[in-house]
Amino acid sequence: MISLSKGKFAARLADSPSDIQAAQALRARAFGLDVAHDADSFDDLCEHILVEETATGRLVCCFRMMPLTGATISHSYSAQYYELSALEAYDGKMVEMGRFCVDPDVSDPNILRVAWGAMTRFVDAQGIDLLFGCSSFHGTETDAYLDAFAMLKARYLAPKRWLPRVKAPHVFRFAARLRRKPDARKAMLRMPPLLKTYLMMGGWVSDHAVVDRQMNTLHVFTGVEIGAIPPARKRLLRAVAG
């Protein structure tokens, strides 16, 4: 069982329907949805990790983890939007990390440290080889993110053998369309925090972004091969997890 406490915050696995409902309510608020609860059919298939204030029990962050293999990757949330047949040949355990969000009214870097520590414990306990998910940019207009997408094209595209192909009806093919040299400062300012963390761990992305009008996001498929995480970054994650 995942249980981790650091300073003012603690992480644990959801263990009741009310825990799941609390996570769904936080997701709806964090994603700016016009519903009380953000719920879908994948919730029943996942383990949900909650980060709470230790003093009050207030939920400040949540995400879900869905263990998979190459043979079952077509059952993932991401497979709704990306053609992932190349990853069916991946020889190792996978987990899809999804619906990651932090309470928009709370700002404390230790929340993310605890969340990633809990993620690290989960990955280690399950013997995971590939962590993947969808990393989202807010809104569906691309203009503000062109330097970020140019940076992804220049440095972070998935290895060809694992590259997701286009499946969604509306996509931005940034790898094919962009010819600009990225401004590194502008790129990193516009890069979503979750995606930045993936990239610092040696992560890679799809060559296109999906335009998701329902969630009002642009998202890229993102993968992190656990064995390829830089040693210094791995030591930091394990230190938090420990």
What pLDDT, on the 0 to 100 scale, is given for residue 7? Answer: 82
Q: Do residues 51 and 100 lie in contact, with contact meaning Cβ atoms separated by under 8 Å?
A: no
pLDDT in tens, the chain (242 residues): 567 887 899 999 999 999 999 999 999 999 999 999 999 999 999 999 999 999 999 999 999 999 999 999 999 999 999 999 999 999 999 999 999 999 999 989 899 999 999 999 999 999 999 999 999 999 999 999 999 999 999 999 999 999 999 999 999 999 999 999 999 999 999 999 999 999 999 999 999 999 999 999 999 999 999 999 999 988 888 887 77
The total number of residues shown for the chain amounts to 242
What pLDDT, on the 0 to 100 scale, is given for residue 63? Answer: 98
pTM listed for this prediction: 0.94
Structural domain spans, the chain: 64-241
What pLDDT, on the 0 to 100 scale, is given for residue 1? Answer: 56
Q: Alpha-carbon distance 84 to 67, whole Å?
A: 16
What pLDDT, on the 0 to 100 scale, is given for residue 187? Answer: 97
